[in-house]
Amino acid sequence: MKLIMTLKDLRQFLDEEIWRVTRSDLKNPLTYRWYTLLKVTILSIQQFMRDRIITKAEALTYNTLLSIVPLMAILFAIARGFGFDALLESQLRQGFEGQTIAIEVLLELIDSYLQHARSGIFIGVGLVMLLWTVLTLTGNIERAFNQIWQVKTPRSLFRKITDYLSIFLLLPVLLVVSGGLSVFMTTMLKDLEGYMLMAPFLRFLVRSIPFVFTSMMLVALYIFMPNTKVKFANALFPGIVAGVAFQALQYFYINSQIWVSSYNAIYGSFAAIPMFLLWTHISWCICLFGAVLTYASQNVENYNFEKDARNVSRRYHDFLCILLMSSICKRFAAGERPYTAEEMARLHRIPIRMVKEILYELQDLDLLYPVQEDEKSGSPFYLPAEDIGRLSVKVVLQRIDNEGSENFKVDHTNQFKKQWEVLVQAKDTYYRSTEMLLKDL
């Protein structure tokens, strides 16, 4: 019985109590960091399950399979232009060790694709299809990241072409640099085998190169791909976690080829297809979980008091609307620098997520509007949208009450006329007592 009560208390703590703990409630910074780490973990797992990230990974797996030949053709074409296509091929073979037949087929397809691209009608139609396929894949990746980050506006077509082209130009160079660095370190390790102190350290460096390179690639992806500002500090740890998980998957994938030898004997070269699909799907799951972890790390403060915020009363909601509008109007009347959402959240100790939701609502009611963004936080400043000499508590409450549709079939002019008149009279009496200007509160 005591164990059941303990588990119940733990669940209540993880579901509710921990989200009410803020920085000002804890004197020990280390304790607050542990609380934050626990919050980020809980939030990441919840969002991973709630947003059906596994389904998104399945869609990206299909897009990857459709785009892999055109994508690799672009990378090899760029690599040939720089003169290191042989090194890129070596990296590809090393990365997919154990799938010799599949790699040979893929390289043949890439060669055939590039040869046909140089001649005939393919040079026109084929290039359009190639660009469309690659843009579709990268666009779907960006869409998945934007959904995780709750970003509604994607990149423009011009930015997609320029940004993605930059990635394709840099990726072959980075892959070759990584491979060259591994070869260089391995050669140096052989030369220094006689030095007992240096050899173990260099051996560790050589083995850690793939982990470091993969992690940095993922960190860059988490910062660059969403169409919003992502901080390096928040992307670093998720990138390392995802990079280590990806390399562990790669090790398991290569070594698992030995276990499926009988499977290969039955299906021959086709055995590579389900194994590759499984590897691609799990890889995307790891990649997207890292994106979720990055989002949770950067926005964990937004989820404080989330359960309470979802159930906030109408009275308290109206109070917060008036409080925020009053602060913005006072600041404007004093001729001082406008507030950002983060500043108002800290000043009034309101959860930042709730502040942003109310500010969006007040924007829709044409009561305020955002101006240029703050350089540090990337958040906009907020100004009154009307003359503060006319902006009163009554105006705010009326706009909130009248927002939305009233076009229903309920007969409030005849059948329910009395009920409607009672409500209107009560509201009029209520509004007459709230004519004080927001800047004078």
User: What pLDDT does 169 receive?
Assistant: 63
- pTM of the entire predicted model: 0.70
Residue 344 sits in the same domain as residue 390: yes
Where is average pLDDT lowest: 135-149, 201-215, 240-254?
Answer: 201-215
Residue 12 within a domain: no
Residue 32 within a domain: no
* Domain-terminating residue out of 245, 278, 301: 301
Residue 175 sits in the same domain as residue 260: yes
Sign of torsion, CA 292 294 297 300? negative
Question: Which amino acid type is present at position 354?
Answer: M
Residue 262: Cβ-neighbour burial (10 angstroms; 0-12, 13-18, 19+): exposed
Residue 133 within a domain: yes
Q: Is 372 strand, coil or helix?
A: strand
Of residues 102 and 69, which shows the higher confidence score? 69
Kindly report the backbone phi and psi dihedral angles of residue 84, in degrees, each rounded to the nearest multiple of 5, phi listed first: -130, 40
Structural domain harbouring 277:
50-301
Q: How far is CA 225 from CA 138, 155, 159, 232, in A?
A: 9, 10, 12, 13
Could you tell me which residues are beta bridge partners of residue 437? 392
* Domain-terminating residue out of 281, 301, 321: 301
Helix (H) or strand (E) holding 274: helix 272-299
Residue 199 within a domain: yes
Neighbours of 420 (CB within 10 A): 15
Q: Is 99 strand, coil or helix?
A: coil
CA angle 165-168-172, nearest 5°? 155
- What would the pLDDT profile of 78-101 be if each residue is shown by its tens digit? 667 666 667 667 766 666 655 566
Is the pLDDT assigned to residue 274 strictly greater than 70?
yes
Residue 258 sits in the same domain as residue 291: yes
Residue 324 sits in the same domain as residue 255: no
Domain count, the chain: 2
Residue 283 sits in the same domain as residue 326: no
Residue 87 within a domain: yes
Residue 28 within a domain: no
Residue 45 within a domain: no
* Domain-terminating residue out of 275, 301, 327: 301
Residue 246 sits in the same domain as residue 310: no
Of residues 320 and 434, which shows the higher confidence score? 320
User: What pLDDT does 206 receive?
Assistant: 65
Where is average pLDDT lowest: 86-90, 120-124, 139-143, 286-290?
Answer: 120-124
Residue 27 within a domain: no
Report the alpha-carbon distance of residue 180 to residue 209 in Å, rounded: 11
**Contact yes or no for 60/32 (Cβ under 8 A):** no
Rounded to the nearest 10°, the torsion over CA 310, 316, 320, 322 is 140
